Amino acid sequence: MNPLAEPADAVIEARWVIPLEPARDVLADHSVVISGDRITAILPTVEARAKYQARQRFELTGHALIPGLINLHTHAAMTLMRGLADDLTLMDWLNQHIWPAEMKHVSEQFVYDGTRLACAEMLRGGVTCFNDMYFFPQAAARAARDAGMRAGLGLIVIEFPSLYAADAQDYLSKGLALRDELRNEPLLSFCLAPHAPYTVSDKSLRQIATFASELDLPVHMHVHETVAEIEQSLKDHDVRPLQRLADLGLLGPGLIAVHAVHLEPREIELFAQHGCHVAHCPSSNLKLASGLAPIRALLAAGVNVALGTDGAASNNRLDMFAEIRLAALLAKGITGDATALPAWQALEMATLGAARALGLDSKIGSLRPGKFADLAAVRLDGIETSPCYDPLSHLVYAAGREQVSHVWVNGKLVLDDRQLTTIDTQEVIATAAYWRARIGAQ
């Protein structure tokens, strides 16, 4: 033992470290040093062994160590509705199946149980942070805290009543009170989350724009998801939804526009001019036949595009590795250009790009000394990933969530050799079965 060695809580030795800053760097045979909740150093493993005396040391000789993935858009509790109503158009899916089920079953307990199940799934897939939009956000907060997971809580606003709130004003009041109550929780952040232009009035949207500005909160909202949404806006408001949002003062660097599938060139330019962000959900867009988002054009215009899964009721997976791969492949197929979205950029969309959209890029999204220690280890020495010439490429085109072996959030090990340390796996499976019996009996 070196008497001059510096103490550390953990040293993670990896075959490759992929820091994402700089974007294309691959550091062979490097280690990440963690003290408390922060990364304190990234250096060659031979140097780390000489310099640090760690309480825990992980030797991941066949792994790539990456920033924890960030799911920029989901409805976590809807994991309990996975497969409830498939192969339907969006509005039929919502009006005939999802909204009726929600009115009957969604309670604080439902949201806690569903979010806990979602956290278990996401952590096993290398996701360390998710940006949520759903009823009873206080229950989602409790589930995320119990799981030791980072969460952006969407303070949902919608005009129609639910078991959570009576009207838009009630949603807004309850959401802001929750934000005040939990604003100092280290793993939680907040967004105002008006559901969509077609479910929120001008009056409510103006209020949201005011609060977003005064409280410096992002606005997380479905925008231009379907052609029908745009047609309805033209009929009701004489403008397309994005122009209506612009007129109401909602465009700006705090807007996270979810889906953004159907965009005209001038609308892409509007996003760019105002510094808006887009949450691209390729699997959900395809499953609901919503369309193909113009990701290459958005990126070319300078718009920050990040990735989300949407809810498990419309995906049906909270699998960010699937979204990364699909986003890269769709961009190539749509444009006819194999260079349209390279592997490093697709991975960035699921890490640093998503952190940037949440205003958290100084804290998470890349591996850098001083940032919070949110990391995932991905095994690349198995049958399905051998041989490995380029680990960055493999992470996008060959690896999947089943290769994630270890996950740390805020310096705490929450997945240890595929085993969750904060969630009882059998308990969440049993709870999911309980809700399936209740919902399926309706």
Q: How confident is the model at residue 99 (pLDDT cuts 50, 70, 90)?
A: confident
Q: Give the pLDDT of residue 1.
A: 56
Q: Give the pLDDT of residue 91.
A: 84
Q: How confident is the model at residue 324 (pLDDT cuts 50, 70, 90)?
A: very high
Q: How confident is the model at residue 442 (pLDDT cuts 50, 70, 90)?
A: low
User: What digits encode the pLDDT tens for the residues 286-313?
Assistant: 999 999 999 999 999 999 999 999 999 9
Average of pLDDT values for 189-198? 97
Average of pLDDT values for 361-380? 98
Percent of the chain past pLDDT 90, that is, above it, reads 94
Range 69-357 has CATH code 3.20.20.140? yes
Q: How confident is the model at residue 413 (pLDDT cuts 50, 70, 90)?
A: very high
User: What digits encode the pLDDT tens for the residues 256-292?
Assistant: 999 999 999 999 999 999 999 999 999 999 999 999 9
The pLDDT of residue 339 is above 90: yes
The pLDDT of residue 441 is above 70: no
Mean pLDDT of the chain: 96
Q: Which amino acid is at 122?
A: M
Domain segments of the chain as ranges: 6-67+365-410, 69-357
Provide the CATH number for the domain formed by 6-67+365-410 in this structure.
2.30.40.10
